[in-house]
Every structure is written in C-alpha cells, then in structure tokens.
Amino acid sequence: MPVNIPETPKKRIVIIGAGFGGLKLATKLVGSGYQIVLIDKNNYHQFQPLFYQVASSGIEPSSILFPLRKIFQKRKDVYIRVADVFSVDPIKKELSTSLDTVWYDYLVIATGVNSNFFGMKNMETYSIPMKSVSEAMALRNRILLNLERAVTLFDHDEQEKMDLLNVVVVGGGPTGVEVAGAIAEMKKFVLPKDYPDLNFDLMKISLIEGSDELLANMSDNASKKSKIYLEKLGINVMLKTKVIDYDGQVLSFSDGYQIKTKLVIWAAGISGEVPQGIPVESVGRGRRMLVDEYNKLKGFPDIYSIGDVSLMITNECPNGNPQVAQVAIQQGANLARNFIAMKKSSKLKPFKYIDRGSMATIGRNRAVADLSFIKFSGFIAWLTWMFVHLMAILGVKNRLLIFINWFWSYVTYDQSLRLILRIADKKKEDLPSPVEKLV
C-alpha cells in the first residue's frame, strides 16, 4: 500500500537523504511547480563537519542538528517522510521503505556514505566510526566511561589504565586529524582538572595513516603543517602504516607492531550508501553511483544522484569530484536549476565543481587552509575555519549556541559538556518502538 502523500497533477520528485545535497535541492525546488517528497531515516539535518566536536565534548549535539519540518514549515508542496529506504524498482518507479511504497516521477539519491572497514569484521565490531551524531555521542560516552573506569583502578594496575586511556585514530584525513587534535586538547587542558588522581602521562594518542602524508587531498604545506601541529600536541603520528585487525584490546599492524588500547576511532574509509535495485553496472569505485554531467544515473532517464554517493568522471576529475559538502551543495543547486529548466523546456546546465578551498583545524589556534587564491595556516586559518563553519550552520539559534560554547572554551580552557548520556533500561513492553543504545 502506498505511503500517504497527496496525489496532485504535479510531477513528483522524491529525494532520498536530507544531507547537504538533498536539503539544498529540496529548498531550491520550493515553489517550482513540482511536488517534493524528502525521505530520510532521521527527522533532522546533521552538520557532519562538527561531529568530532560533539565527540570531544566541545558542543551539544542539538547545536548541529536542525529539524526538517522546521525548515519547510511554511513551504507548500514539500512532504517530509521519516523512513528507511530499502530498495528501488526502476521499472515500476517505486521505492520500498519502512513505511511502505513511494512512487516517483523523478528520483534523486543523495544518501551519502557510510564507513568502509575494507572487510575487517573485527574493526567494524570493536572500533567507533563517526558518520552520524549518534556515533559521535557513542564516542563521547566511550571516552568518558574509559576515564571513569581508569580512575577506579589501583596504581599497580598501570597497564590496564594505559589500555583504557590510550586512544588510536585510524585515518589521516580531515576527520581523523581534527578528532585527534580535539582529544589531545582535552588531555592537555581539561581532563587533568576533572581527574586529578589520574596520571595523564600514561595517556597516549596515536594517529594512523596508510599513505605517506596527512590530508592527502590538500596541499603539501597543509599536510606538513598539520603533522607539525599534531606532534606539538603530543600525538604520535604514524604514516605508511597499515592496520590489519583489532579485537577490542589490541590493534595490530601489517608489520607485526601492536598497540594495546580499549578505544579505536575509525576515520579511514567510506563507501556509498546505494539502495538495492540499482544495477551493479551503474555503480563505480567506492560504491558510488555513476552519473553524467547532469547528475543523471547511468542507464536511467529519471534517476539522479548527488553528493558523496555520486561519481561523475570527467577529464578534470578522473576519480570523481571530492566527497566534501561543497560538492553536494553545488550539485543540489545545479540539479534544482535543471529541473526547473526541464519544466520550461530550456537548456540544461552541466555540473562543474567550483573549488572554493579546503580547511582543517588541529586544536586551539591551529588550522590549515587551502583557499582558491591563497594557502595559509596558524591562528588566522583557525579564525577563518571557525567563521566559515559557523556561517554554514542552519539557524541563528544554533549558530549562537555554538559561538557561546566556542567562546567559553577559548576563554576558560574548559568545556562544560562532559556528560555520559545513555538510554535508561526499560522493560521491552514499555517501549513504543526499538531504541538503539548509544553505548
């Protein structure tokens, strides 16, 4: 039975995913004469670049979440449905969802990516990724719970304390670099005040990268500077190092080296979230969906894909566009213009990514920035990073909350959000629906 969505003479565009690309597309199509159905498994938009700050107790989760229904409160012809999408039937032009079926005239898949563990089942089981706000919260809980456990141990249990305190981040991209820097800042400024009876010389933070440089998609200067900044924070940076296994206690490397730790953060790989029903010949490297210059899926006239899950191969980008928010936002805006042009039988505009630059922050007063016209690092780059991310947040209230948290942390060298939040145990029959624990 179809999901209850009003039937109208208007063509229906169904968008799967309310990330940067899907949300931009939906907002740009408001009032365009189409019926817009936006489907996401959450009822909110997540600002992914700041997940690491949630994980390190820098900001509240609610500061980087924005309710979808609030965004479209006063917008006609936009229908929000909270559901999981299981499969696509391109012949019937239907989606199978956790609610029921949804038909479409045009389908836009903007499902983003999830963590790729490269077949390492133990790593998938025991490490913590950061691809959702719930995973960021789980990481925050794990960090704090390990500290609470360590403080209860006697002095002669030094090895067990070290295992609990040690943190290993796998992956030297922006997420790995930023979360490692944030945890190192906690160790330096915050945790010794909270846990005066713990010896934080026992706490080691390691950043593991399989290639020979950090921030591989940025400039050589950014890569070298980020390594210098991380090492100044006391982080052990290990390049050209391949992880092969983690059993929850010991992290093993291909050269036989091992690190004992109870906390491994996985930031090393991503894989596209492709719904079932999309044929294998339409999916390329990294499980990204092959699209043409108009973001149309290979082999299908009425299915499109934008953002991280799409793969547009051009002479300028033989490996596809970078999987960053700006690409998704620009693709969403361009596809919206093309849908409007289609309605007017006007000429479509091919997508061309305008690279405005990349940035990464590595703790207090330290960041690297590769803008289209200049490359720089240090305090000015850090201020630039803060301003750009603050302005990208949806909602004045959210921006204000984040600014207050950042200002307070900067002035006091402290954070006030070190809370272990877990869902209380209840009898199964008392729960209206399945609830996933954060830890």
Q: With bands split at pLDDT 50, 70 and 90, how would you rate the model's confidence at 399?
A: confident
Whether residue 301 has pLDDT greater than 70: yes
Which pLDDT does position 411 carry in this prediction?
76
Tell which CATH architecture fits domain 121-268.
3-Layer(bba) Sandwich (3.50)
Which pLDDT does position 418 carry in this prediction?
81
What topology does CATH give the domain 12-115+271-343? FAD/NAD(P)-binding domain (3.50.50)
Which pLDDT does position 336 carry in this prediction?
98
**% the chain with pLDDT above 90:** 79
Q: With bands split at pLDDT 50, 70 and 90, how would you rate the model's confidence at 431?
A: very low
Q: With bands split at pLDDT 50, 70 and 90, how would you rate the model's confidence at 150?
A: very high
Integer Cα distance of 182 and 187 in angstroms? 9
Which pLDDT does position 416 carry in this prediction?
65
Both structure tokens of 60: 């509240």
| Rounded (10°) CA dihedral 213, 216, 222, 225 | -20
Closest CA to 295 of 258, 336, 238, 264: 336
Q: Where are the domains of the chain?
A: 12-115+271-343, 121-268
Q: With bands split at pLDDT 50, 70 and 90, how would you rate the model's confidence at 406?
A: confident
21, 110 in Cβ contact below 8 A? yes
| CA 110 to each of CA 16, 21, 299, 353: distance values in angstroms, whole numbers, following the listed order | 6, 6, 18, 17
pLDDT digits (tens, 9 = 90+) for 217-266: 899 999 999 999 999 999 999 999 999 999 999 999 999 999 999 999 99
Which pLDDT does position 343 carry in this prediction?
93
pLDDT digits (tens, 9 = 90+) for 334-383: 999 999 999 999 999 999 999 989 999 998 899 999 998 899 999 999 99
pTM comes to 0.90
Q: Are strands 35-40 and 78-82 parallel, antiparallel or unpaired?
A: parallel
Same fold, 12-115+271-343 and 121-268: yes
User: In the predicted model, what is the mean pLDDT of residues 153-181?
Assistant: 94
Whether residue 116 has pLDDT greater than 90: yes
Which pLDDT does position 317 carry in this prediction?
87
Q: With bands split at pLDDT 50, 70 and 90, how would you rate the model's confidence at 433?
A: very low
Which pLDDT does position 428 carry in this prediction?
42
Whether residue 413 has pLDDT greater than 80: no
425: Cβ contacts below 8 Å, ≥ 6 apart: none
